[in-house]
Chains A and B, each alone.
Chain A
Amino acid sequence: MRAEPAVWTTGAVVLGGLPFLLSLFQVVQLTVFMAFCLLALSLDLIWGVAGILSFGQAAFFGVGGYAYGVVGINSGSTTLGLAGAVASAAVLAALLGYFTFYGRVGAMYFAVITLTVTLILHQVMGSTAGPRYAIGAARLGGYNGMTNIPSLALELPGRTPSVLEPVPLFYVVGGLLLVVLGLGRALVRSSFGRVLRAIREDEGRTELLGYDVRWRKLLTFVISGGIAGLAGGLFAGWGNFINPQVFSLSQSALVVIWVMVGGRGTLYGAIAGALVVQWLTNYLGAASVTYTSVLLGVALVVIVLIFPGGLVPAVGRGLGWLVERPRRALAVLP
């Protein structure tokens, strides 16, 4: 953990330099991948750190996306849109979390409930096709989705808002990712984070040590939901579009896969997992392989079998081994 400042500097430098090395298309691609990284990070916070598997991150992502659209279209301000995305997803998480955590619903049921809520949203948003289904000027659009969502714009007081070009947008999303990652890491390393890890290990024991686990789980879930909502808002602003597909079963599972591949509990793993899986999906798609999803599935199974703890912990152990080995070799010398 002492190496963290180095990781941070490297991350910021790489992020700053990438637009100069990549094509515009790649920059645009990477921008949306970073929104996905935020979504993966949100799951890792509640699942990897606190040990509560939520299949509902896609729901918060989708609600965030729709909220950004509705607020953005009606108010004309994309900053307000993003705030609305975070707030609406956090409120949904608060409601869901309050009834499940204070009702002492078991972990398995919690996973099922969150998935069910996501699938219900899929149905509900799918049946909003007519012009009747509109919030202000924003038409929900049923399965065709909501269109004309405004692009993220730079809104400074006293100036006319200017839509962010791809490269500045890349920096904004990347910057947000770094900020959220930094705050998330601070949370994980705080005493609050230590208690969360204890809840992950043995919830009942933690209660008997005097910790009210209910509000701690609720707060973590609300933060996690808010981050997923932010990711959804960025996604909608990036593509000017959102449809109920974000609430689908495959989207819900994909978030879990990202975190599983990258490794749980560090937040770095979630980001690496989202990047690797999305890059692999794109690469296989671009190579116009016939059975993209079959190959992707095989690749994921192989990764999870070889590195059951995920990629990032495995790389960490590998580095540790490389550092330790010469030291040990030297130690046996006379």
Chain B
Amino acid sequence: MLEARGLVKEFGGLRAVAGMDFTLRRGELRCLIGPNGAGKSTFFKLLAAVLKPTAGTIRFKGLDLPRLQPHEVARAGIGIKFQVPRVYEQLSVADNLWLAANFRHGRAAGAAVERALAEIRLGERRDARVAHLSHGDRQWVEIGMVLAAEPELILLDEPTAGMTHAEARRTADLVREINRRATVVVVEHDMDFVRQLAATVTVLHRGAVLAEGSMDEIRDNATVRDIYLGKRPHARG
């Protein structure tokens, strides 16, 4: 469904993404992890076509992703949830969801809004301005926006940031639920959350893919331990 080849992104002299290959199959649930500065956020923005790559290609359903206008990326079926919730503060919860639902559902947007409201359990606060919501609820609003748009590929950048442990657990359930309908890529710091998702994990390091596999395989990978966990348990004693 999505294929990146030889992806490079440079900021001045800094190579944030340095020759990355990445393949995603339809229906997959994939977690991206890596230490700070590994290039997760940059890679994420390249997938979302917010940034254009310095070199390399990204193809989504055969489309040349970096050449698309931002609105065409959404219309191609990619939905994005940002690390810091990017929601319309001055608009109501329902209006935020309606904006997300409208372009796909048109006149049926109202029904999609109701479904999303139920899923994020904010039905009672539908008319509240988003500016008046807690940080955790804003995360839910943005997840609701992604749900209402019903994209084929969903990109989630640290969806549990600012959530309580219980909320993070609920998010993991929801992400697995969403995965039945759509392909999902999650960038995440919280290892408990990643474990709950039981997804294929891709470890990034210095702008390239270091390892790929299940959480158990990754945990047993010595190189990953060295670099990602920053300690050498096997070298002790």
Same assembly: yes
A165 close to chain B: CB less than 8 A:
no
- Output the least CB separation between B63 and chain A (Å): 14
- 15 A-B pairs within 8 Å (CB atoms) are namely A194-B98, A198-B91, A198-B99, A201-B88, A201-B90, A201-B91, A204-B70, A205-B88, A207-B74, A209-B103, A209-B145, A210-B71, A210-B74, A210-B149, A212-B69
A324 close to chain B: CB less than 8 A:
no
Interface of B is mostly: helix
B190 close to chain A: CB less than 8 A:
no
When A191-B102, A195-B99 are in contact, do A211 and B71 touch as well, CB less than 8 Å?
Answer: yes
Residues 102 to 151 of chain B near chain A (Cβ within 8 Å): 102-104, 145, 149
Complex contact A202–B86 (CB within 8 A):
yes
When A194-B99, A195-B99, A202-B86 are in contact, do A212 and B91 touch as well, CB less than 8 Å?
Answer: no
Give the CA-CA distance A209 to B76 in the complex, in Å: 11
A329 close to chain B: CB less than 8 A:
no
A194 to chain B: which residues have CB within 8 Å? 95, 98-99, 102
Cβ-Cβ contact count across A and B, 8 Å cutoff: 52
Given A198-B88, A212-B71, 19 new contacts (CB under 8 A):
A191-B102, A194-B95, A194-B98, A194-B99, A194-B102, A195-B102, A197-B91, A198-B91, A201-B90, A202-B88, A204-B70, A207-B70, A207-B74, A208-B74, A209-B103, A210-B74, A210-B104, A212-B69, A213-B71
Residues 143 to 185 of chain A near chain B (Cβ within 8 Å): none
Q: How many B residues are at the interface, by size bracket?
A: 20 to 34
Q: Which residue from chain A places its CB closest to the CB of B106 in the assembled complex?
A: A191
Q: Mark B55-84, 1 if CB is under 8 A from A, else 0.
A: 000000000000001110111000010000
Interface residues of A (CB under 8 A from B): 191, 194-195, 197-198, 201-202, 204-213
- Output the least CB separation between A295 and chain B (Å): 35
A212 to chain B: which residues have CB within 8 Å? 69, 71
Which of B86, B88, B149 counts the most chain A CB atoms within 10 A?
B88
When A198-B88, A201-B88, A201-B89 are in contact, do A208 and B48 touch as well, CB less than 8 Å?
Answer: yes
- Output the least CB separation between A264 and chain B (Å): 12
When A191-B102, A194-B99 are in contact, do A209 and B91 touch as well, CB less than 8 Å?
Answer: no
When A194-B95, A195-B99, A198-B99 are in contact, do A207 and B69 touch as well, CB less than 8 Å?
Answer: yes
B16 close to chain A: CB less than 8 A:
no
B100 close to chain A: CB less than 8 A:
yes
From the candidates A201, A202, A205, A211, name the one contacting B103 in the complex (CB within 8 A).
A211
Give the CA-CA distance A177 to B50 in the complex, in Å: 43
Give the CA-CA distance A191 to B149 in the complex, in Å: 16
- Output the least CB separation between A84 and chain B (Å): 35
B103 to chain A: which residues have CB within 8 Å? 209-211
Closest 10 CB pairs of A and B: A210-B74, A207-B70, A210-B103, A201-B88, A212-B71, A207-B71, A210-B75, A205-B86, A198-B99, A210-B71
B70 to chain A: which residues have CB within 8 Å? 204, 207-208
B95 to chain A: which residues have CB within 8 Å? 194
Q: Which residue from chain B places its CB closest to the CB of A197 in the assembled complex?
A: B91
Give the CA-CA distance A209 to B81 in the complex, in Å: 11
Give the CA-CA distance A252 to B62 in the complex, in Å: 50
A211 to chain B: which residues have CB within 8 Å? 71, 103
B50 to chain A: which residues have CB within 8 Å? 208
B74 to chain A: which residues have CB within 8 Å? 207-210
Q: Mark B35-48, 1 if CB is under 8 A from A, else 0.
A: 00000000000001
Give the CA-CA distance A107 to B90 in the complex, in Å: 20
Give the CA-CA distance A210 to B69 in the complex, in Å: 10
- Output the least CB separation between A49 and chain B (Å): 13
